[in-house]
Amino acid sequence: MENRAEKRRIVLVPVAAQGHVTPMMQLGVALQLKGFSITVAKRQFKQISSSLQHVPGFDFVTIPESSDMSEFKGLGPAEFLMKLNKTNEASFKECISQLLLQQGNDIACIIYDKLMYFCEAAAKEFKLPSIIFSTSSATIQVCYCVLSKLEAEKFLIDMKDPEMQDKVLEGLHPLRYKDLPTSGFGPLEPLLEMCREVVNTRTASAIIINTANSLESSSLSWLQQELGITVYPLGPLHITASLPGPSLLQEDRSCVEWLNKQTPRSVIYISLGSKAHMETKEMLEMAWGLSNSKQPFLWVIRPGSILGSDGIESLPEEISKMVLERGYIVKWAPQIEVLAHPAVGGFWSHCGWNSTLESIVEGVPMICRPLQGEQKLNAMYIESVWRIGIQLEGEVERGCVERSVKRLIMEEEGAGMRERALVLKEKLKATVTSAGSSYNALNELVKDLKTQ
């Protein structure tokens, strides 16, 4: 009986974006190592979906696209997401019914990205257990809960008052009203509606979060009380289950050879993740500031990531020459390996949650340049709670770029941040080793999955 249970299947449903797919695949590997079979149900059309096939030992099925994507044109991100969830309910039910036919009644659980809540309809119909997976921080989930209870009109009036903006949310220190991640999802009303959908746990029995007690213990306890279902902090999953790919673009490993030639802790690594863009003007100011700092830098410039330019090649010759004098440019880097390299002294990041975890795990202090709400909240934690980074706010200008790089790499202030980052690194590593909190949470989850 025990042996049969160990071979049961978990169906994973990721969001087709780098920052969501990677931790979901890591979770899959962690569960595969515990004896489960893994099937990934993915949507069509996305570039990242094709690279998914590279995860060894997983089965893949495609959720049939149930609507014409042209119907989504012009929708803001929150409206897009809600429509996608509505239109995918039926096709996911069809997908699960096919799986049940092929594999018998052997699905132990559907684990879905919190944004893919359409999965719940199928779980309910086929009486299958389901668990939510959050690829962002626990504090973001707390914010979604808070936002889900707000009234748009009143909140907009309140936020015009500077005193209200700085007010700490009751019982949620250090979160202030202005930290609530309201930018990047379009107009407020659909965002609040989306939050209501996302925090609704429906029939899910638990939520897995890619975080650790040592980073966010108070947010985790708050969520446990608020949601009334088990909260499993399993992170950082990339330590528990590292895997090569899936990757949006081919990793350019030549940057590791370049790093090998640099002095220890001298290099600033710059990456804005898989989606963020910047204006050419900002890029030029960064280039000047980095160059004036006289520190070497490794810069990820994805095709299309600089608005109005095709990348470094299309910039004025004088600029690209200056950049290439001290810097090295790649389209996509092996980020975890880069952050672990002894030559790297700091990470200029947009503060996506995966990048944040990866940086902390390597004890690398950060220059934070967040672009939207969730990243701003992560940046606030990096700068003010964990005190392992500097946040750049307002317009980027070469003087402040130069100053921030020097503060982080050369000055005592930066040394203090590195020291704290190294302490946090050790704490985080301890959470995933024997008897650590994430290690224990994974074992609890496995026990629950086997008795579902």
Q: What residues make contact with ligand UDP under the rule CB under 6 A?
A: 18-19, 22, 271, 273-276, 300, 332-333, 335-336, 352-355, 358
Phi and psi at residue 279, to the nearest 5°:
-75, 155
Question: Is the Cβ of residue 130 or residue 182 nearer to ligand UDP in the bound state?
Answer: 182
Question: Is the Cβ of residue 91 or residue 219 nearer to ligand UDP in the bound state?
Answer: 219
Question: Is the Cβ of residue 109 or residue 367 nearer to ligand UDP in the bound state?
Answer: 367
Provide the minimum distance between the beta carbon of 183 and ligand UDP in the complex, in angstroms, as a whole number.
14
Amino acid at 169: L
Question: Is the Cβ of residue 186 or residue 334 nearer to ligand UDP in the bound state?
Answer: 334
70: left (phi over 0), alpha (psi -120 to 50) or beta: alpha
Q: Using an 8 Å Cβ cutoff, are 401 and 270 in contact?
A: no
Looking from the CA of 255 toward its CB, the CA atoms found within 13 Å total 31
What residues have CB less than 8 Å from 71, skipping those under 6 apart?
A: 83
Provide the minimum distance between the beta carbon of 118 and ligand UDP in the complex, in angstroms, as a whole number.
21
Q: Using an 8 Å Cβ cutoff, are 78 and 373 in contact?
A: no
Helix, coil or strand: residue 262: coil
Q: Using an 8 Å Cβ cutoff, are 346 and 269 in contact?
A: yes
Quote the CA–CA distance of 313 and 262 in Å, as a whole number: 24
Quote the CA–CA distance of 213 and 221 in Å, as a whole number: 9
* Residue the block writes with tokens 């750049």: 392
Q: Using an 8 Å Cβ cutoff, are 298 and 338 in contact?
A: yes
* Residue the block writes with tokens 């790089």: 405
Closest CA to 271 of 386, 366, 179: 366
Task: Specify the pairing of strand 9-13 against strand 107-113.
Answer: parallel
Provide the minimum distance between the beta carbon of 145 and ligand UDP in the complex, in angstroms, as a whole number.
21
- What separation, in Å, do the N-terminal and C-terminal C-alpha atoms of the chain show? 13
Question: Is the Cβ of residue 7 or residue 253 nearer to ligand UDP in the bound state?
Answer: 253
Q: Using an 8 Å Cβ cutoff, are 24 and 44 in contact?
A: no
Question: Is the Cβ of residue 37 or residue 335 nearer to ligand UDP in the bound state?
Answer: 335
Q: What is the DSSP letter of 53?
A: G
Q: Using an 8 Å Cβ cutoff, are 219 and 134 in contact?
A: no
Provide the minimum distance between the beta carbon of 143 and ligand UDP in the complex, in angstroms, as a whole number.
16
Question: Is the Cβ of residue 19 or residue 190 nearer to ligand UDP in the bound state?
Answer: 19
